[in-house]
Structure 1
Amino acid sequence: MRPWQATAQYGVSPFVNGYTRPLPSYAETFSGPGYFTPPPKSSVWATLALVFALLGVVLSVPALLAIVFGHIGVVQTRNNLMRGRGLAMAALVLGYVVVGFWALLLTAIWLAG
C-alpha cells in the first residue's frame, strides 16, 4: 500500500503535513463574493436580561430575573454561535449591583430599626 492511500483511508489528507498550511474550512472557502453567510442570531435571554436589569434599577425586583436570564444568556453565547454576550454580561453586572445595593439598604434599615 502506498503512503497516500494509507492516509486517505483514515480521513487525513496527504497534502497536510508539518510543512504546509492547514486546509481552509468550508466557511472560509465559500465566503467570497457571491456567497452570503447570514449573521448569527441574537440571544433573546441576553436581551431580556438587560431589559430586566434596567427595570431593576427602578423597581428592584426584576433585578433578580436579570441575574437568572443573564446567566442563561451567557451560557447560550458561550460558543459564539449566538450574539449578545456583552448584553448578558452587562445585565449580570447591573443585576448584581442592584441586588447588592438593595441588600445593603435593607440590612442597614433592619440594623437601625
Structure 2
Amino acid sequence: MTYPQPGPDPTRPYPPVSGVPGPYPPPVSGVPAPYPPVSGVARPYPPVSAVSYQPGGYGPPVQRIAVQAPLMSGMATASLVLGILGVLGGWCLFGLPCVLAVILGHVALRETRDGTRSGHGMAVAGLVLGYVFVGPMIAFTVMVFFGSIVGAATPTPTP
C-alpha cells in the first residue's frame, strides 16, 4: 500500500520520500532541506571530528604514485625493423635482413623474458617476419649464385 504524496510545496523544494511525516532538521539558509528518513524518525547528523574535517568538506588528499614503464628493448625494435625490411627489400639484399631479424629477435626475447624491458610483442613480430621470409630469401640467393656459377662454367656452343 502506498501513501498519497502531497502536491508541490514552495517551502520545500523536494517532496518527501515516504508519506510518513517526521521532524525535519532546521533549514540552513540557501541549502534545501534533506529528505526525511524512510522510517519517519529523524536521526542526527554524524559528528564531525577534527581529524576527518578538511576545508570545503572533502576527505584527505589522495596519495598518487607514478610508476615508470619499463624501457623498450632496442633489439626488439631492430628485429621488427629488419623483418619489415626483409619483407620489402629482402630480394635485393639476398635475405640478410631476414637473418638479422631472426638473430636479433631471439636476443630480444631473452632480454624481455624477465619483464625488466618491454617489447616482447615486437620481438615476436620480428621473429615471425624473419622466419617466414628467410627460407625464400635463402633459396633465391642460392639460385642466383649457383645459376651464375653454372652459367659461367658451361661452355657456349660456337656456330
Give the TM bin, normalised by the shorter chain: 0.5 to 0.7
1:89 lines up with 2:148 in the alignment: no
**TM-score, length basis structure 1:** 0.61
Number of positions where the alignment pairs a residue of Structure 1 with one of Structure 2: 81
Runs of 5+ consecutive residues of structure 1 not aligned to the other structure: 1-31
Larger RCO, structures 1/2 (Cα 8 Å, 6+ apart): 1
Matched residues in 2 for 1:84 and 1:56: separation?
20
Note the alpha carbon deviations across 1:44-90, whole angstroms, 9 max, x for none: 11001100110011222211111111111100000111110010011
Higher helix share: 1
Aligned to 2:72: 42
Runs of 5+ consecutive residues of structure 2 not aligned to the other structure: 1-61, 91-95, 151-159
State the AA in 2 paired with 1:38.
Q
Aligned to 1:103: 138
Note the alpha carbon deviations across 1:14-38, whole angstroms, 9 max, x for none: xxxxxxxxxxxxxxxxxx8421111
How far did 1:102 drift?
A: 2.0
* Percent of residue pairs identical: 35
**TM-score, length basis structure 2:** 0.45
Q: CA RMSD in A?
A: 2.3
Counterparts in 2 of 1:107 and 1:62: CA distance versus 1, 3 Å: closer
Q: Secondary structure at the match of 1:39?
A: coil
